[in-house]
Structure 1
Amino acid sequence: MSTKYKFNNNTGIYFVSFAVVGWIDVFTRQVYRDLFLESLVYCRKEKRLNIHAWVLMSNHVHLIISSRTEGKLADVMRDLKKYTSYKILKEIRESKNESRKEWMMYLFAKAGKENSNNTNYQFWRQDNHPIELDAHSDMFAQRLNYIHNNPIEAGIVEKAEDYLYSSARDYQEGNGLIEIDVLQ
């Protein structure tokens, strides 16, 4: 079995990326961003997930994470994606204001039917692409910069710390949306 793109070391630090199926721009709406961030905070507090860096873009997420326990990071990621997909799909389905509801639910249903792991809808793509990092390596610094510069590359902001949905402001100003675990 391949060990590429797997959480092989439960005490390791990992860069992970995951996207909405079809790269649908779900997170352009505040309500969906809030649901995702609430889940991330919950995982940090209750599942003992260390969040070293993060960015939430319109249709994907990048994280640098580790665990404060011997628990499996793969299980935490599975739970995070499962819960957020359930909550966000429910919110979309029940929304009276979501102008894209029919279109999005059609695409989520289509993706769900094409994947034997699902019964109805699929929100997140299956992969996370975890890459283990050494906290004091050039690769760690490169991934941290990649995460924080994602909104700049997308043309959303000129300075990384100006993007609200990222840990860049924690590294610059110390006043981000969620508490992060800065490595020394």
Structure 2
Amino acid sequence: MTKEGYVICDQSKAHFITATVVDWVDVFSRKIYRDSIIDCLNFCVKNKGMLVYGYVIMSNHIHLVLQSSTGELSDLLRDFKKFTAKSILEKIQTEPDPSLKVRIGEAEQT
């Protein structure tokens, strides 16, 4: 592990990936946010060369078994996480869920 995180040594092979929400906030307990993840996965499959072998969405993290058909898994993960985060944050701002907004605000302050 480096300062930035784990390094994907072989970009062309399938990897087991875990992505967590900052401060383990239970964002994915609502269907609307779980659907955002699925929509983003589908987008990456159709447009970015993502191969999804399996996934599990937990309340505050996701597990994925992924591969990149282009051989650039790190870039693909970066784009997926960035796009997914923006999508979910937009929904948090537009969908009323005061308890989640409070928890997100607390996470941003730390």
Does the pair score TM above 0.5?
Answer: yes
Equivalent runs, 1:74-85 vs 2, <5 Å: 74-85=74-85
Structure 1 ranges of 4+ moved more than 6 A:
none
The RMSD of aligned alpha carbons is 1.8
Deviation at 1:87, TM superposition (A): 1.1
Amino acid in the other structure paired with 2:89 = L
The yes-or-no answer on 1:89 pairing with 2:89 is: yes
Alpha-carbon distance change, 100 to 74 in structure 1, aligned in 2, over 3 angstroms: same
Could you list the runs of 5+ residues in structure 2 that have no partner in the other structure?
none
Partner of 2:108: 109
Q: When you count helix as a share of all residues, which structure comes out higher?
A: 2
Shift of 1:31: 0.7
What is the CA–CA distance in structure 1 between the aligned matches of 2:16 and 2:38, rounded to whole Å? 18
SS at match of 2:43: helix
Q: TM-score, normalised by structure 1?
A: 0.54
Equivalence map 1:48-67=2 (5 Å): 48-67=49-68
Relative distance call for 1:33 and 1:87 in structure 2 (3 A) is same
Q: Which residue of 1 aligns with 2:69?
A: 68
The CA distance in 1 between the partners of 2:36 and 2:81, in whole Å, is: 11
Could you tell me which amino acid in structure 2 is paired with residue 12 of structure 1? K
Residue equivalent to 1:46: 47
Instruction: Measure the CA separation in 2 of the matches of 1:110 and 1:45.
Output: 36
Gaps in structure 1 of 5+ consecutive residues = 112-184
Kindly indicate whether the alpha-carbon contact (under 8 Å) linking 2:25 and 2:104 is maintained by their aligned counterparts in 1: no
What is the one-letter code of the residue matched to 2:90? K
3-state secondary structure, aligned to 1:10? coil
Query: Amino acid of the residue matched to residue 74 of structure 1?
Result: S
Rg larger in 1 or in 2?
1
Q: Share of identical aligned residues, percent?
A: 33
Equivalent residues in 2 for 1:76-155, closer than 5 Å: 76-95=76-95, 97-111=96-110
CA distance in structure 1 between the partners assigned to 2:97 and 2:81 by the alignment:
22
C-alpha distance in 2, partners of 1:25/1:44? 26
Asked if the contact 1:93/1:101 (under 8 Å) is kept, the reply is no
Q: TM-score by structure 2 length? A: 0.87
**Structure 2 partner of 1:11:** 12
Write the letter of the residue equivalent to 1:88.
I
